[in-house]
Amino acid sequence: LRIAEVNPNCCSITLLSEQFSPNTTSDVAAGMLIPHTYPDTPIHVQKQWFKETFTYLFAICNSAEASEAGIHLVSGWQIFKNPSEAEVPFWSDVVLGFRPMSAAEMQKFPQHSHGQAFTTLKCDCPRYLLWLEKRLKANGVQIHTRKVTDLWELHNKYDIVVNCTGIGARQLVGDEQLFPVRGQVLKVHAPWVKNFIRDGDGLTYIYPGIDSVTLGGTREKENWCLSPDPDTTKDIFDRCCSLEPSLQRAQDIRVKVGLRPSRSAVRLQKEVLSQGGAKLLVVHNYGHGAGGFSVHRGTAEEAAHLVGECIAALQGSSSRAKL
């Protein structure tokens, strides 16, 4: 979408994907705007990505589109057992009203000693994905269901390939630095829960959305299994109930599993592939791990810029680039 917005009329865009909503990792995500740190990406870059994403979604949230796009504000608490873990994160001045929790607020969490209160944004992921798809179509993007097994399949038809395949990049481009971190969550009906609660260890969280509350979670490195595990479901439910006892009465429990496309740094770069005398321009944008929603607009901005550079490089050899 960002490519179409940044380069109007200078290219035609086709989106190829093996799966669409509701069958992607992005459909499983809680969609909370709370960044996760990529150890090999400079912090100022991550902060820029998060800021751009927050600003973009905040504007949608403040528009008539908010409910259709599934974007809303949510306030709550991140809590810690160990005070040394409760340091001020790099994103504290991007979210709204970040402050240490008061002693009175901490009374809600007798097992925890410190906490941070703030307001952030949440994407209701399937709604947001459908809204994006509608905007793609409005921008003239062609959409086809297709699995790509080799980027060279696309060579004769397209000038530039943008690779946003998430965990699929492990197979598609053989990236061994990319690994799955399996996450299981529950989506429950508990409309009385209005505040988010996140244990600072990142394992247990309660995120109220528009239609359901997301209860998490798990982080299982190199586990490729997409089937829900019933013991894990019980464990997640118990952990969440110990933070928010009213969840005992939650109904309509649905279980979802996703594979976070994890990497020490998001792969956001241009590559020129060569085979015989032929060249294929590729822009990679994958490896967003546990924080894809939190930085999606910022990384898209950078990817669209790289595509602009590829278009400039092609100018002269072709009048209208195809992606």
Ligand X SMILES: O=C([O-])CC(=O)C(=O)O
Ligand Y SMILES: Cc1cc2nc3c(=O)[nH]c(=O)nc-3n(C[C@H](O)[C@H](O)[C@H](O)COP(=O)(O)OP(=O)(O)OC[C@H]3O[C@@H](n4cnc5c(N)ncnc54)[C@H](O)[C@@H]3O)c2cc1C
Site for ligand X in 202-261 (CB under 6 A): 202, 205, 216-217, 260
Do 60 and 123 meet the contact criterion of CB atoms below 8 Å apart? no
Site for ligand Y in 244-273 (CB under 6 A): 258, 260-261
Q: Is 180 in the site for ligand X (CB under 6 A)?
A: no
Tokens of 248: 């005992």
Q: Is 298 in the site for ligand Y (CB under 6 A)?
A: no
- What is the bridge-based pairing of β-strands 142-145 and 14-17? parallel
Do 258 and 290 meet the contact criterion of CB atoms below 8 Å apart? no
Which one, 75 or 113, has the nearer CB to ligand Y? 75
Do 74 and 122 meet the contact criterion of CB atoms below 8 Å apart? yes
Site for ligand Y in 184-213 (CB under 6 A): 185
Give the integer Cα–Cα distance in Å for 147 and 258: 19
Which one, 5 or 238, has the nearer CB to ligand X? 238
Which one, 168 or 291, has the nearer CB to ligand X? 291
Selected from 70, 76, 115, 183, the binder of ligand X by CB under 6 A is 183
317 is an annotated ligand-binding site residue: no
Q: Is 164 in the site for ligand Y (CB under 6 A)?
A: yes
Which one, 1 or 313, has the nearer CB to ligand Y? 1
Find the residue with minimal CB distance to ligand X.
290
Which residue in 14, 24, 3 sits closest to 143, CA to CA? Answer: 14
Residue for token digits 């439910």? 237
Stretch that binds ligand X, among 16-24, 27-35, 105-113, 262-270 (CB under 6 A): 27-35
Do 85 and 200 meet the contact criterion of CB atoms below 8 Å apart? yes
Name the E strands within the chain: 11-12, 14-17, 71-80, 96-100, 114-123, 142-145, 160-163, 179-189, 196-199, 205-208, 213-216, 220-221, 251-262, 267-275, 278-286, 321-322
Selected from 4, 24, 200, 213, the binder of ligand Y by CB under 6 A is 24
Residues contributing to the site for ligand Y (CB under 6 A): 16-19, 24-26, 28-32, 147-148, 164-168, 172, 183, 185, 217, 258, 260-261, 286, 288-294
Residues contributing to the site for ligand X (CB under 6 A): 30, 32, 34, 183, 198, 202, 205, 216-217, 260, 290
